[in-house]
Chain A
Amino acid sequence: MGGEALLELDRVTVFYGRVRALQEVSLQVWPGEVVALLGSNGAGKSTALRLVSGLVAPAAGRVRFRERDLVGLGPASIVRLGIAHCPEGRKVFPEMTVRENLEMGAYTRRGSLEADLERVWALFPVLRQRQHQLAGSLSGGEQQMLAIGRALMARPALLLLDEPSMGLAPAVVQEVARAIRSLNASGTTVLLVEQNVHVALRIAHRGYVLENGRVVVSGTAEELSRDDRVRRAYLGA
């Protein structure tokens, strides 16, 4: 692929205390792509997302977004640059309504939110019906939709999605997967962390497999689903 990468990690190392969570990880996300980060628990997938959104700082290496260095910017500035992070565990503000949760997603910018709300309603019609309910009263699947919708309210160029299918019923997983493809088709680039490799490889164009904080395999979704190591470890083949 030509042109410039939207997001580039260049030999990044991250420590949590004395534990090395990421070790010399390099990866690129091109505009328009869905890229999956795969791997087991503790492989460093979520750390990579927290690194990009400024919640953890690297000990070494560079993080660039549109050729601009992100290290040291802080989460608020990074959201303003066009990166939205949808954290794992379908986190919502339980005592705010659905609509207020969505408005919080647009916290870093001012002006009318109507068009953005319409976009979220179109993607997840159930949220429009529930807009005045408290987010804590939603089902798990609806909370996940709300969390994704809230991230979209920031009008991100790059959406960081952490485990969107975790703990959801299969039918709901399908709906979330459909929504991710649809928002990608309308121009949002996605960096996706998933433990459900079947789902991830169906949505993603490319993927990286992390083990113990290192990239061990990378390639297109098709290459990964044929890779012996991936098949043995994650696809149960």
Chain B
Amino acid sequence: MPGAWVGLALLGALVAPVLLRSPSHQNLLVLTAINVILVASLDMLIGLSGLVSLGHAAFWGIGAYTSALLVMRAGVPFLVALPAAGLAAAAAGLVIGYPSLRLRGHYFVLVTFIFGIIVTLLLTSWVELTRGPMGLPGIPFATLPWVGGTEVVLNTFQDKVRYYYLVLVVALLTLWVRSRIMGSRMGRALVAVREDEDLGQTLGVDTHRYKMGVFVLSTAQAGLAGSLYAHYSTFLAPETFDYVASFDLFVMNLVGGAGTPLGPVVGPVLLTAVRDALRSTHPVLGAVLFGVFLILSIQFLPRGVVGVWDHLRGRRRW
């Protein structure tokens, strides 16, 4: 692993809010860090295990709505709602993963895609709970209990820096878990699943168990990202978590470099920044150029931006 690059990226992430002081830039930083959590967790499925999920945003949405509703309707503190969001998404992952991970290839992709559509439909039609297409406004900001008895509000519309660091910590933990798994016995088993699942079984690898494990872990992390998003944006709408969002995460994963150490950082940073730059300069032309950029990168960079770099340096992916 290119240690110097990891250090540089970490340093950049730490000083970014000091250098970028405008609220709109800091907003991009928080959203990018949330996307890093989502893409890093998705990459454990796609890059490491070869399990292409096109429903990752649905688990993100389950976490977001769980956390928002727990805080708003049940008065649960943010610090409890955050892990609860992870658990709710993981429970959904367990229910969806158990049958669908026995399917191979396209069938698994289809099940995750359809699951994403079902979740969007549920969020839209269960109006009593989610307010449906009107969206869920007025979600409280994240707060931390303080020793003196008063609560500390982590973020406001004006001040995003503290919240950015909270999201960054979760993002770093997600990346750390991912790299630990990649170097482990479980990681080896999942690479075997990616390369030749039948052969892995022949060698005595319990492939279904490991696929379940990585899927539940990945969906739990998406749920955490959901909670972090809900108490940041303070407004949720079903279409934020629809199949287009899932596809976006998939594209960030591919463009950054699936299965590469820094791919899940490079993809979100690049796409969030590029898209914003294009959008603010020329919205229509920007959207077209963005599409062209995506097609070109998928056509010519099968392992993403990081993959090109590794290729030039003669490295392979994990």
Contacts and interface: CB of A to CB of B under 8 A. Distances in A.
Interface of A: 53, 55, 74-76, 78-80, 84-85, 87, 91-96, 100, 103-105, 107-108, 134, 150, 154
A95 B189 CA distance: 13
Chain A to chain B: the 6 pairs with minimum beta-carbon distance, closest first: A79-B204, A108-B204, A93-B195, A76-B204, A91-B199, A85-B202
Contact of B202 (A80, A87, A100, A103): A87
Contacts of B202: 53, 55, 75, 85, 87
A74 B199 CA distance: 14
Contact of A107 (B189, B195, B316): B189
B192 interface: yes
Interface in B182-214: 185, 188-189, 191-192, 195-196, 198-206
Given A87-B198, A93-B199, A95-B317, A76 B192 contact: no
A134 B205 contact: no
Contact of B203 (A94, A95, A150): A150
Contacts of B185: 107
A100 B202 CA distance: 16
Given A87-B199, A134-B316, A95 B191 contact: yes
Given A87-B199, A95-B317, A107-B203, 6 more contacts: A53-B202, A55-B198, A78-B204, A107-B188, A107-B204, A108-B204
Nearest to B206: A76
5 contacts: A55-B198, A91-B199, A94-B195, A107-B203, A154-B203
B203 A104 contact: yes
Contacts of A93: 191-192, 195-196, 199
Contacts of A107: 185, 188-189, 192, 203-205
| Chain B CB within 10 Å, residue with most, of A80, A94, A95, A100 | A95
B4 to A, nearest CB: 23
Contacts of A84: 203
A53 B205 CA distance: 13
Contacts of A87: 198-199, 202
A96 B195 CA distance: 9
A74 B202 CA distance: 10
A96 B203 CA distance: 15
A85 B191 CA distance: 19
Nearest to A95: B195
Given A95-B316, A95-B317, A105 B203 contact: yes
A104 B192 contact: yes
A162 to B, nearest CB: 10
Contacts of A80: 204
Contacts of A100: 188
A87 B200 CA distance: 11
A76 B198 CA distance: 12
Given A104-B188, A107-B189, A134-B316, A91 B196 contact: yes
Given A93-B191, A96-B191, A104-B192, A75 B201 contact: yes
Contacts of A108: 203-204
A85 B203 CA distance: 7
A104 to B, nearest CB: 6
Interface in B153-207: 185, 188-189, 191-192, 195-196, 198-206
Nearest to A84: B203
A74 B188 CA distance: 20
A180 B131 CA distance: 69
Contacts of A76: 201, 204-206
A107 B200 CA distance: 9
Contacts of A103: 188
Contacts of A95: 191, 195, 316-317
Contacts of A74: 206
A96 B317 CA distance: 10
Nearest to A150: B203
B310 to A, nearest CB: 13
Contacts of A94: 195
A79 B191 CA distance: 19
Nearest to A75: B201
For B185, B192, B199, the residue with the greatest tally of chain A CB atoms inside 10 Å of its CB is B199
Contacts of B317: 95
A83 to B, nearest CB: 10
